[in-house]
Structure 1
């Protein structure tokens, strides 16, 4: 009991660690933490000191609660306290040992050598497939004469292609597993290095921060308080597992939140909320500055050093003294009875908050901790897309409508095809009821052969000679699956930027006036030629892009590439 202003004040002291964290709302760059405590107060003025706070946003602290008392004042203050040298040294030693262990594990992994070996195995497999295909068709006239397309040939080809597919899936799984292990070790090493750096910086002492709550009561009673404040060093990001089950035709999206925090306090068994709000952006509408034009004036020469010094001294003498900073805050509810009405808001006009069903534990180690937001079942429309000029593979693509109530934020995805991990990708933001497309990775069951282009040169004219180059590009797609697939093939028709150069499409025929007559082939955006095909099981299809380029024989053509223009 102490006296302040001739009034007896009952002082109560608690550590922040003694007040359990019950609720945390994580934003993109910070988190709001709620701690609860119960304390007895006497009649009159009570001063509650909650000590050993972590670094917080000072203006964010507020206190609410229940009980027959009144909050008179809430303030926040801190002071420097020397730290025990032995404690800091032991912490740094443990971090250095952990860093050395992780670096040894990364050396043992030998990522570069193992990745090179897998790439070499892929090359050997492709070369073997090419050799087997040539041998099956016969290289000399005698072999071609004895070559028969009988049932034995197709059975052997089917078995070979199945083995090629199985070995390809195995090699790809080994490559992805190797990359995941290397990425995981790299992240852990970065985290330990960051923690080691912070421990070294903090060597020698720390700031002791405390919140002071002044409570006034008419009689002795017990009150329950909720202390809410914002901490830095916390963030969350979405990540997804896309699992495509081809037999059922179902797409399952496992929506996770990756939480990282180094606020200095551990969150153990707390109710967790993930918010899409961005407090860092602010809520004030910016003012649009006016744009003014004037004749440019010649700048005067720069002042001499002694002239600048004289001006600086004069300015310093005339400046006002700096304002002092106080750590006290206005009370959240001034001289009002403490009544708490719980309000749960899951969605507003500007943001959405996801409530995690299970209690979660997130230590202050700045490593990623995964929590499940939702599991979403969707019915996609599947098709294959190939751009063989860039990558000679077929990508399985799903077109789907987000029928859930969840907004899918931009984030990275792990793609599984029939429970096999196939690739990593990115997903853009998708609102509920919005249609979106997502790539499900490369399917080795479709082989794409982008054959060498055939060019034929010719010229015409006597006085003004014109050179004509005919380009013929063949694309072959083999379906190794025993079921039909829909494939979109996309290739590029060059576009002339000069009236002297003329590009004429010969094949495929596209009726520009009546596009409905050639629905399966079209000239799309960026002068891309697109074919919509359905390939039967264990069958192959070949399409041909043929066009001519005419230009003056005396002129030389320069070819450039661009994306999205």
Structure 2
């Protein structure tokens, strides 16, 4: 009969780790105002209780966000986070001690060599005719030259060795630079790890830090000679971080969602009405109560057991699969949030400077249009209605706009979900020329006793397309006056557009029309109330501001003329009309 004896556990083992030198960042998820960092540590544990002390974590680390995950035949017992305050950590290593000792020996040897050179010079200078025969002078000088050459060669060799040792000392000191030299890296984490057997384990610390952000910006390149997908949109990200630690060769994941903590749906307070009390009512003294708010401790860091980590009730000897990490592709989650994985590994130092990365380049469809308000300015503005036909969500950001390779302007891209459209101004186009002719005004009177004054106005607008191709969508916007008095009546004659309220009152339709009215002026030209060509227009409000627009197709090298006519009737005729 045999008896199984439990393993003999050793005394608690202390494992000291420096976060920067003893770990590697395996993942960075960057949000608009913070980042989530995953650091992986690999170390050996002894049988029994091990106290793992990790120093050099960033001061900005949010303790309530800290999570611990890992792999290995061990169990995590507890995790605590603290801050090092003015503690001195040794800045030495066995190699550095050896180098400093070797340097001291070289310095001493160099000092002796320099002293020997001085002694030789002093000896030669002390010789006189009384002490040295002329026949022996040649031998003495030859001995001086030989000894001097040996001392010079030795001194040069030691000087070179001393320079090499100084370089090695500087490199070793940079390698063992401790966190207390960086005031931004003073946070420590203490992790209790109980191991059934000695071996290697891996622990990942996952924590959130502020002072890291990313913003979207774009290059929009438009090729006017391309019919299909004329817009190339280059989606870029500007990344900044000042967290205290450098991100060297890390996989970067950009998140469009914004983490929120404790955000609740707002609740409406009661809204009561009461009669105002008389001013002579006696005022009573109010009693102010002081409430005491409990100071609760922050939530403890989260401990998660993954892989071979077992529960305190039993040890798992079989190791689970390794942790998996995100690939380098770019993905999107739709309208609520999107995730972008920047291809490859990137390096972002802790310098709070913008580091730019290209996320993806998209070829998009666009509908070109020309817009002019000639009453105010006869210039023609080129605009592109771009459809986001990709799977990527576009965030708010600035855009540099290029047309046929030339920089045109800087614009803003709004938040655009997949399959949504947005307008992108492309500057002025001088090849579409607009002439706003002087208005023609005629006055007549009607009535026998109560005479009314009738004003008839005619405005002509000429569009000249000097391009070698047709301009398919030229939008001209103009207006007629709006009456603010019942004695003044304004009527649009040409184009023959009716207000939605007039259409409903005529008996042709019941209620407001569902679709905006469109008048075909002639081939290639349609007129409607301004705003009717917008997808989100409200039909019942069209024409209230009396703004009219024409959508025109102008052939190459041709002109077309638009006519705007309206009547103003004033009763009595003697009334003075302002603004006419």
> TM-score with structure 2 length normalisation?
0.64
Change (3 A) 1:517 1:206: closer
Shift of 1:59: 0.9
What's the counterpart of residue 433 of structure 1? 419
Q: Is it true that 1:63 corresponds to 2:68 in the alignment?
A: yes
Distance 2:198 2:458 in 1: 94
Shift of 1:49: 2.0
Distance 1:389 1:36 in 2: 67
Distance 1:348 1:46 in 2: 42
- Point out which structure has higher relative CO (alpha carbons under 8 A, 6+ apart): 1
Q: Is it true that 1:548 corresponds to 2:567 in the alignment?
A: yes
What's the counterpart of residue 85 of structure 2? 80
SS of the aligned residue for 1:59 comes to: helix
Change (3 A) 1:236 1:205: closer
Shift of 1:295: 1.4
Where in structure 2 are the equivalents of 1:192-211 lying within 5 Å? 208-211=186-189
Distance 2:20 2:273 in 1: 62
Shift of 1:556: 5.5
Preserved CA contact (<8 Å) 1:384 1:396: yes
Distance 2:391 2:375 in 1: 39
SS of the aligned residue for 1:381 comes to: strand
Q: Is it true that 1:212 corresponds to 2:190 in the alignment?
A: yes
Distance 1:481 1:502 in 2: 42
Preserved CA contact (<8 Å) 1:82 1:205: no
Shift of 1:482: 1.8
Where in structure 2 are the equivalents of 1:320-469 lying within 5 Å? 322-323=294-295, 325=297, 328-333=300-305, 336=311, 339=320, 340-342=322-324, 344=326, 346-348=331-333, 350-456=336-442, 464=450, 466-469=452-455
Preserved CA contact (<8 Å) 2:401 2:426: yes
Q: Is it true that 1:30 corresponds to 2:37 in the alignment?
A: no
* CA-to-aligned-CA distance 1:215-237 (integer Å, 9 cap, x gap): 22112211222221111122222
What's the counterpart of residue 119 of structure 1? none
What's the counterpart of residue 231 of structure 1? 209
Shift of 1:283: 7.8
Change (3 A) 1:44 1:546: same
* CA-to-aligned-CA distance 1:381-430 (integer Å, 9 cap, x gap): 32322233344322223344432211222322221111111122222333
Q: Is it true that 1:286 corresponds to 2:265 in the alignment?
A: yes
Q: Which has the larger radius of gyration?
A: 2
What's the counterpart of residue 233 of structure 2? 253
Distance 2:200 2:491 in 1: 88
Distance 1:206 1:75 in 2: 19
Q: Is it true that 1:12 corresponds to 2:20 in the alignment?
A: no
SS of the aligned residue for 1:28 comes to: coil
Preserved CA contact (<8 Å) 1:77 1:327: no
Shift of 1:262: 2.3
SS of the aligned residue for 2:20 comes to: helix
* CA-to-aligned-CA distance 1:105-128 (integer Å, 9 cap, x gap): xxxxxxxxxxxxxxxxxxxxxxxx
Distance 1:442 1:456 in 2: 36
Change (3 A) 1:541 1:328: same
What's the counterpart of residue 537 of structure 1? 556
Q: Is it true that 1:475 corresponds to 2:457 in the alignment?
A: no
* CA-to-aligned-CA distance 1:353-375 (integer Å, 9 cap, x gap): 11111322223333332211111
Preserved CA contact (<8 Å) 1:453 1:474: yes
Q: Is it true that 1:503 corresponds to 2:509 in the alignment?
A: no
Distance 2:16 2:324 in 1: 27
SS of the aligned residue for 1:72 comes to: strand
- Quote the RMSD (CA, aligned, Å): 3.6
* CA-to-aligned-CA distance 1:497-540 (integer Å, 9 cap, x gap): 44333222233344888846446222233533222222233333
Preserved CA contact (<8 Å) 2:237 2:357: yes
What's the counterpart of residue 152 of structure 2? none
Distance 1:556 1:240 in 2: 55
Change (3 A) 1:383 1:206: closer
Preserved CA contact (<8 Å) 2:65 2:302: no
Change (3 A) 1:476 1:369: farther
What's the counterpart of residue 521 of structure 1? 527
- For residue 269 of structure 1, the aligned residue among 234, 240, 249 is 249
Shift of 1:24: 1.2
Change (3 A) 1:505 1:9: same
Unaligned regions of 5+ residues in structure 2, if any?
1-8, 89-181, 509-516, 532-541
Tell me the number of residue pairs that the alignment of Structure 1 and Structure 2 aligns: 425
Distance 1:480 1:82 in 2: 77
Give the number of the structure whose residues are more often helix, by fraction.
1
Change (3 A) 1:546 1:82: farther
Distance 2:493 2:237 in 1: 52
Unaligned regions of 5+ residues in structure 1, if any?
1-5, 84-203, 561-565
What's the counterpart of residue 118 of structure 2? none
Q: Is it true that 1:491 corresponds to 2:478 in the alignment?
A: yes
* CA-to-aligned-CA distance 1:467-493 (integer Å, 9 cap, x gap): 444444333333232221121212223
Change (3 A) 1:388 1:272: farther
Preserved CA contact (<8 Å) 1:62 1:332: yes
- For residue 240 of structure 1, the aligned residue among 211, 218, 225 is 218
Change (3 A) 1:415 1:221: same
> TM-score with structure 1 length normalisation?
0.66
Change (3 A) 1:321 1:247: closer
Preserved CA contact (<8 Å) 1:23 1:34: yes
Change (3 A) 1:538 1:67: same
